[in-house]
Structures are given as structure tokens and as C-alpha cells.
Copies of this chain bind each other. A is one copy, B any other.
Amino acid sequence: MDKAILIIQCKDQKGIVSAVSAFLYAHQGNILEIDQHVDQELGMFFMRASWELESFGLAKDEIKTVFEQQVGNQFQMQFQLYFNDRKPKMALFVSKQSHCLFDILSRYYSGQFDVEIPLVISNHKDLKRVVEAFRIPFHYVPMDKENKADTEQQQIALLESHDVDFVVLARYMQILSGDFIRKYPNKIINIHHSFLPAFVGAKPYHAAYERGVKIIGATAHYVTEELDAGPIIEQDVARVRHHNTVSDLVQMGQDIEKVVLSKAIKYHLENKVYPFGNKTVIFY
């Protein structure tokens, strides 16, 4: 079914739901989902609505302008409009670890992710054969430690030439520069292998082991310039015991990492994530 998805943010005030739903009704829109959230502290209003396009009274390329005139301007809304007939383009950055990559490819293969994957970029060649079995181009871009900016230029050129919408760091293990991150604001999803904000930084499983925690976790978040501090999209945890070694923690953690990252990708793909400040509204 062809559908439109509208995501709105504005100052909280009376009449917003009424105005948006009246707009959709006036143009014969059959509402499929509608969800709203008010952040009382900030006085901000967030909304997500989706409706069927088939019977809708406005053409796809008219909707934005008409909505702005009839509703958006009045409430000073920021909004995005998406259509599900265009698949987003997702690039994967990987290194040597395979668990997140294979989990994503598995969902891509089975149709669970409604996405195009025009390329996988890696600083190691290990995962090339399996990626290509899924008929996805694999680009080996070695990390030039002396000149990281050059490496990133090559990566960005690849992303731009493939018209990539967003990037997933599937255990990429390298820190992106501020220049790279600013090109893709809230468009780079990372998986951190701890229950943030616990164990920020490198070697979180070692740190968890040293502290003697009884539960470990993983966190998918948008990448911002401050390391491991971006808006959290999804988290999950697993129970560990005293007899689990660091290596057990790594293996148990991988099961969480891959599911958490894939859930975050799915929310992002379905336009269900609204980042604001260092938080997210997730309309699921």
C-alpha cells in the first residue's frame, strides 16, 4: 500500500491534533497511524501520522506546500514528509567483526528491512566474500592512520556517488571526525557495546567485568561529535554471572548488539525516530 508519513515538531499549543487531522480528513486521507508526544518540560509537541495515498485528494508533490499553507505555518511547525514508495539507501561500515553485518544482511535478504544497500565499506577485506554473496558491492578502503582525512574523503565520495541517505556503523571500530559527522547529522547510527552511559569509551566488556556487574548491555545511538553521547535509539541487556569471563561477555554481548542495532535501523527506516537534543522520541 502506498502511504505518506508526516513527522512534526513544534511548540506545544492547543488545536494541533485537530488541525492536522482536519487537514487529512478534508483531503480524504485514511489515517493509518497517528501518535503524538508532548515534552512537558520543554513545552514541545511531536507527532507522527501516516495515511493511505491511493484515495488522497492531493498529489504527492503538492502535499508539502499545501500542508505548509493550511497547517504548518500557523503553528510554526518543522516537519518532514516521507513516502514509502522510495526505498532509503543505507551504507554499512564494517571492520572485521561479522555479527552485526550478517544480522543486517539476513534481514535485508528476508525483506524485513525495506531498504537498498548500495555498498558496504570496510578497512579490512575479511568480509568481502559473504557480502558479495548477497550481491552487494564491497569497497575496501584501508585506514591511512597518518592521513585519516584522506580516508574519510574516499568514504564520503563513495557515499555521495551512491546517493546514500544514512550510514550504519556495524562495529566499524574507528572514530569518525567532526567533519564527517557534521555532513550526516542524525544520519549515522552506531552500536556501542555497553549499556550507556555506563562504560563509555573503549573496552566496555573489560570494564564491566572489572566492576562485577550482573547485567551487560548494548546501545544504538546517533553519532554526534561528543563520543558515545548522541541520542539513544535503542538499548537492551543480558544477565551475566560470576563465572562468565570477559570472552563470555563479548559473545553474550554480540547477541544483544546485533538485535539492538537492527531494531534501531528498523525504527529509522520506518521514520519512527525523532531525535531532539540528546534524546529521541520513538513512535512505535
A28 beta carbon closer than 8 Å to chain B: yes
Verify if A65 is at the interface (C-beta below 8 Å from B). Answer: no
- Verify if A9 is at the interface (C-beta below 8 Å from B): no
A281 to B244 Cα, complex, angstroms: 11
Is A106's CB within 8 Å of the partner chain B?
A: yes
Q: Which among B19, B32, B110, B242 is the interface contact of A279 at CB below 8 angstroms?
A: B242
Q: Interface with B: A97-105, A140-148, A155-163, which one?
A: A97-105
Question: Does any Cβ of B come within 8 Å of A183's Cβ?
Answer: no
* B109 close to A102 (CB less than 8 A): yes
Are B211 and A197 touching (Cβ within 8 A)?
yes
Distance (whole angstroms) from the CB of A113 to the closest CB of chain B:
10
Size bracket, chain A contacts: 35 or more
A202 at the interface (CB under 8 A from B): no
Is A196 close to B, CB under 8 A?
A: yes
CA distance A255 to B256 in the complex (A): 11
Chain A 91-139 interface residues, beta-carbon cutoff 8 Å to B: 97-99, 102-103, 105-107, 109-110, 112, 129-130, 132-134
Interface residue from B17, B132, B262 paired with A133 (Cβ < 8 Å): B132
A259 within 8 A of B: yes
Question: Taking CB as reference atom, which chain B residue is nearest A199?
Answer: B197
Pick the contact of A24: B18, B129, B211, B255 (CB < 8 A). Answer: B18
A213 CB within 8 Å of chain B: yes
Binds B, one of A73-81, A82-90, A173-181, A232-240: A232-240
- CA distance in complex: A29, B34 (Å): 19
Q: Which residues from chain A sit less than 8 Å from chain B, CB to CB?
A: 14-15, 17-19, 21-22, 24-25, 28-32, 34-38, 40, 97-99, 102-103, 105-107, 109-110, 112, 129-130, 132-134, 195-199, 211-215, 217, 231-237, 241-243, 245, 251, 254-255, 259, 262, 277-282
- Considering the complex of A and B, which 5 residue pairs feature the smallest CB-CB distances, nearest first? A133-B133, A212-B279, A18-B25, A102-B106, A18-B21
